[in-house]
Amino acid sequence: MLLSLAGLALAATLAVTEVKAGPGSLCDARYECKYHFQTDTDLWFFDFSNLCQPNGYYSALQDGRPGTNFTFNICGKSSQVCPQFNNNPFLPTQGVAIQNYGSTCVLAAEGAPFYQVRDPKNPETGGINITHDAAPEQIDDPNRCTPLPDGTSVFRSTTFMFTCDKSVQTLQATGAYEESECKYVIRIRSAFGCGRIYDGPDSKAAEDKEAGERGAEAGAVIGFMILGGILFVIVWAGIFYYYHREIPFSIPFVGNLARTPAAPSGGGFGASGSGFGASGAGGSYAPTA
C-alpha cells in the first residue's frame, strides 16, 4: 500500500528512517551481504548484515526534486508495497529500493547485489558501491524507461554509494540523484562502508597464528630433545669415569695417563738389606762347644 506523500516527505527529512511493519522479516537470507576484496598484500572484508531493517526501511530524498523520494533497505527489501500493475500477481510489488513521485511508486532495485570498491588502492576508507538492477517494466507500463532505438527494454538500477564514516555506526542517507535515465544513486555515510582486513578462517592472520603456534610447539620439542641429549651425555660420562678411573689409558705421543701403585723399595726391615737379620753387614754369631 502507498504511503502518503506527506509521510514520505517527513521521512525524507530524517537522516535515517525506520518504519515498523507487520510481523516477519524483510531481510533476505539469500542475499549475500558479505564481500571480500583482494589487494596485492591483504584480503579486505565488508559485512553489511547488520544494516538490514527486518520490518522497515531507510529513506532518501532525490536532489532537486522535493516530491521524489526513495525507500530502501540493505540486505533485504523495503517494507513499502507498490500497487499491483494491471492486477498481475506475477509482477513484484516490493524491492530493495522503491522510487516515489506524486502518487506513483516504481521498483527501482531488485535482485542480487553487485559490489565495487570505489578506490581499489584504499579499500579501508575509499568507500564501496552496491548496485541492484530491477526488471524492465511491462510494455504498456506508463512508467516504463525509454527503450533503446532497437526497441530493447531498459531496466532501472540503484546504486548505494557508501562513503566510509566511522562516526556513523548505522547509516546516514544524505540524498539521491539520477545519474542517467532510470539509473539512480543513493549517497550513504556509514562505518559499514569502511573495509577491514579479513581475519576469519583461512585468513593470513589465522595462518600466521597457526604457523606461530606450530613453531612454538616445534621449538619446545627441539628444546626438550637438546636438554635430554645433554643429560644423557652427563650421565654416561659419569658412569664411564666411575668404572674406568683406575684402568690405564693412553693418548698417542703422551703415554700412560693412569696412575698405578708403586712397588716398595729402599731400607727397612726385610729378608735382605742393611738391617738386622740372619746375615748381613752387622756380623754373625757362632756358638762354642
Please compute the mean of the pLDDT values over residues 109-127 and round it to a whole number.
95
Q: Which of 151, 163, 212, 214 is nearest to 189 (CA)?
A: 163
Q: How many CA atoms lie within 13 A of 119 on its CB side?
A: 13
Helices and strands (DSSP H and E) totals, the chain? 2, 14
What DSSP string describes 201-228?
A: TT-HHHHHHHHHHHHHHHHHHHHHHHHH
Structure confidence by residue, pLDDT tens digits, 146-163: 999 998 888 999 999 999
Structure confidence by residue, pLDDT tens digits, 247-274: 555 555 555 555 555 555 555 444 444 4
Is residue 191 within 8 Å of residue 163, measured between CB atoms?
A: no
In percent, how much of the chain has pLDDT > 90?
44
